[in-house]
Amino acid sequence: MTKSLPFIFLVFTSFLAVIFQVSSNDHQSHSSLERFRSWPDTSRHHRNDLLRKWTEHKRTNSYSENRRSSLPFDLLTSTQQFKGCIDPSEPFQCPQSEHCIALQFICDGHPGDCPNNLDENEETCIAAKRPAKENIEKFLHAEYTLHGSKLFTFLFGEKLAKSIDENNAFWFDTLASAFSVAKTIRRFAEKTRMSSSDLAHFQSVLQLIHDGRLEEVPLYVQEAVNQGLASLVEKLYDSGFMDQ
């Protein structure tokens, strides 16, 4: 009996060792399984975090891009304050005078609002229906900065676009003045010394924009349309610019 005790002790010790080994392996397997199970959640969280950051970055960039793209339109539609006019209810300065009148008195058919009735002359009446000349000039300059001469080549033809490249300050002033007071597109062509072929092309481009057929114009023209060119074209149409 005493001789069998060491043997029994050895068997018991081996049994405990086996149990410990199985328990250890089971714990390791459980840990590995938990890590495996948690990996998709961690990965999903990481992907969601990346998506959130990308969305925020995209939203910020989109706002900046929209703000930049809306800037020319803001220039075109901003309220023009004449230098000599202080009272906001009388913002229009009479031509060749320091006298200011309310906008509703321009071309109202009643004499005496401005000295020599200059608020009733044809060009003043036309300009009152269109964006201010100064605003048009700023708009053209902004579009030139954004798109370069290719936009003006598409609109006016190569000859005028080349002249703009050579002296854009002079031509932005000339174009803005012509857009502001030229009664018709033909009168505009005379003021800007357009050829008959360039005039025909310019007329067709305005027609495309007015009709909304933007799929027929290049992308940079579509961008210019959304940046305010469409608004200018509509003002021209509404004031008889395209009348023959």
Given the structure tokens 């793209």, which residue do they identify? 69
Highest mean pLDDT among 18-32, 71-85, 122-136, 185-199: 185-199
pLDDT at 68: 44
95: pLDDT strictly greater than 50: yes
Higher pLDDT, 18 or 118: 118
pLDDT at 4: 54
Highest mean pLDDT among 36-40, 59-63, 117-121: 117-121
Given the structure tokens 């799929």, which residue do they identify? 215
pLDDT at 101: 93
237: pLDDT strictly greater than 70: yes
Rg of the chain in Å (alpha carbons):
38
| Tokens read off for 161 | 């676009």
**What is the distance between the alpha carbons of residues 200 and 210, in angstroms, rounded to a whole number?**
15
Higher pLDDT, 234 or 47: 234
Please state the φ and ψ torsions of residue 131, each to the nearest 5 degrees: -60, 150
Half-sphere exposure of 76 (CA within 13 A, CB side): 26
pLDDT at 213: 94
Higher pLDDT, 95 or 23: 95
- DSSP assignment of 58-80 equals HHHHHHHHHHHHHHHHHHHHSPP
**What is the distance between the alpha carbons of residues 179 and 140, in angstroms, rounded to a whole number?**
11
161: pLDDT strictly greater than 90: yes
Give the least confident one: 57-61, 165-169, 198-202. Answer: 57-61
Give the least confident one: 34-43, 122-131, 221-230. Answer: 34-43
Residues 193-229: tens digit of each pLDDT: 999 999 999 999 999 999 999 999 999 999 999 999 9
Q: Give the model's confidence band at 86: pLDDT under 50 very low, under 70 low, under 90 confident, else very high.
A: confident
